[in-house]
Structure 1
Amino acid sequence: MQFFNQKDIFNLQKIFRINLINSCSGFKSANLLGSISNEGITNVAVFSSVTHLGSSPPTLGFILRPTTVPRNTHKNIKDLGHFTINHIWEDVFEDAHHTSAKYPDDVSEFDMTNLEPEFKGNFKAPFVKNAPVQMSMKFIEEIYVPSNDVMLIVAQIQELYVKDELLEEDGLINLSKGNVVTINGLDTYAVPKFKKQLSYQRPKETTK
């Protein structure tokens, strides 16, 4: 196996180090966050750090890089207090990846890709049309992590939309049925397939 100690990692060429450390944690979620500015300009951006924080209340979080440069998603979320999370699926992952390009705040990524905004009910932030899983989110708090100069954004699910064919009888959202993609590292996409759902595990009886 290849071996890297901490000194090796710090001395690696920058791009190699970024790719190595971004991929060593394993496959990550692939989501598009939809938001809108006070001026009514929509924004959609790819994130690979959305994670489950709790089920009651239903809470998710994601990591935001430093705000020393403009972060339209962060500003919109703080201004409006709401945003959407939309799973990326196989047909759109290239357009989804393009939303990582740094456009000025008066340009909507929806206009620069084939992704389409979708508005539901009275929720102001845009969903991504045809996404197999869509969530409307309410901003709760942000937690600064000084060791890496990043922020954990915490939000609660207000509404959850799931395509019928993905929802199993026990509540599992079977993402493989929607061809939902995952991200390996920074820029590599894969489509995982359902293998087997295992039962809740209890300790085995021990013999002395």
Structure 2
Amino acid sequence: MQLQKEEIESLEQKYKLNLINSISGVKPANLIGTKSLNEKENVAIFSSVVHLGSSPAQLAFIMRPQSEIPRDTYSNILETGFYTINHVSESFIKKAHYTSAKLERGESEFDRMKLEKEYIGEFHAPFVRDSAVKIGMKHMDSVPLPNGCIFVIGSVEMIVIPDHTINDLGQLNLEGYSGVGISGLNTYYSLNKLDSFPYVREDEIPDFE
């Protein structure tokens, strides 16, 4: 298949939606947890979390365009300034996926999808108890994108990771806790380590045949 821009735009709408959402490949599967000032908890799945920097530690994710009344996740982040990022594992992918449903405002996906929440220390937002990797985030900035989406930038305030999933170099073994990735909007893949290579220096590049 080879498609030019005009042909892409003329595709049947659902087919085009699935195609464009999947051509970027496998993306990380994360649940973002929030809580409003009036104690309403919310959790929703996102596949757009990206690394921005290590020093200071910053992550970001993309929020869809908001209506006049923002969805619970974004509204809670703006209201409180805090949220959590929780890796999804194979054991709860179905529950995680269904958090994408548009529930009534204020209804908790934790309760509806039977996802157990967890609070750690004094951190305001809830974590997902079954998640192996839990990250506490503080909202730094929201950058509007040309398509109406919002690039939400945050600082890493807390990391909770099982000791056995980290090697001596600080590298995370996603296979060690059955982490999963998302292709498109609703297809999940297991993650298996294939290899690990050294930091690349020009004078150490192998002679490739």
Aligned to 2:55: 56
In the TM superposition, what is the alpha-carbon distance from 1:163 to its structure 2 partner?
1.1
**Equivalent-residue separation in structure 2 for 1:83 and 1:204 (angstroms):** 43
Aligned to 1:22: 21
Matched, 1:126 2:113: no
In the TM superposition, what is the alpha-carbon distance from 1:191 to its structure 2 partner?
0.6
Shift of the 173–205 alpha-carbon distance from structure 1 to 2, 3 Å rule, reads closer
**Equivalent-residue separation in structure 2 for 1:76 and 1:190 (angstroms):** 30
In the TM superposition, what is the alpha-carbon distance from 1:114 to its structure 2 partner?
2.3
Q: Which residue identity does 2:139 align to in structure 1?
A: F
Aligned to 2:173: 174
Q: Which residue identity does 1:97 align to in structure 2?
A: H
Per-residue displacement from partner, 1:79-118 (whole Å, max 9, x unpaired)? Answer: 0000000000000000000000001122100111121110
In the TM superposition, what is the alpha-carbon distance from 1:192 to its structure 2 partner?
1.2
- Where in structure 2 are the equivalents of 1:49-198 lying within 5 Å? 49-68=48-67, 70-146=70-146, 148-198=147-197
Q: Which runs of 5+ in 2 are unaligned?
A: none
Aligned to 1:6: 5
Aligned to 1:43: 42
**Equivalent-residue separation in structure 1 for 2:135 and 2:27 (angstroms):** 18
In the TM superposition, what is the alpha-carbon distance from 1:18 to its structure 2 partner?
0.7
Q: Which residue identity does 1:55 align to in structure 2?
A: S
Q: Which residue identity does 1:192 align to in structure 2?
A: L
SS at match of 2:136: strand
Q: Which runs of 5+ in 1 are unaligned?
A: none
* Stretch deviating more after TM superposition (67-76 or 38-47): 67-76
TM-score (norm 1): 0.95
In the TM superposition, what is the alpha-carbon distance from 1:204 to its structure 2 partner?
4.1
Q: Which residue identity does 1:116 align to in structure 2?
A: E
Per-residue displacement from partner, 1:94-146 (whole Å, max 9, x unpaired)? Answer: 00000000011221001111211100100110000021100000000000112
**Equivalent-residue separation in structure 1 for 2:98 and 2:31 (angstroms):** 11
Shift of the 172–205 alpha-carbon distance from structure 1 to 2, 3 Å rule, reads closer
**Equivalent-residue separation in structure 1 for 2:116 and 2:87 (angstroms):** 14
In the TM superposition, what is the alpha-carbon distance from 1:205 to its structure 2 partner?
7.7
SS at match of 2:94: helix
**Equivalent-residue separation in structure 2 for 1:194 and 1:154 (angstroms):** 29
* Stretch deviating more after TM superposition (197-206 or 57-66): 197-206
SS at match of 1:169: coil
TM-score (norm 2): 0.95
Residue correspondences, number: 204
Cα RMSD between the aligned structures? Answer: 1.2
Shift of the 189–205 alpha-carbon distance from structure 1 to 2, 3 Å rule, reads closer
**Equivalent-residue separation in structure 2 for 1:30 and 1:71 (angstroms):** 19
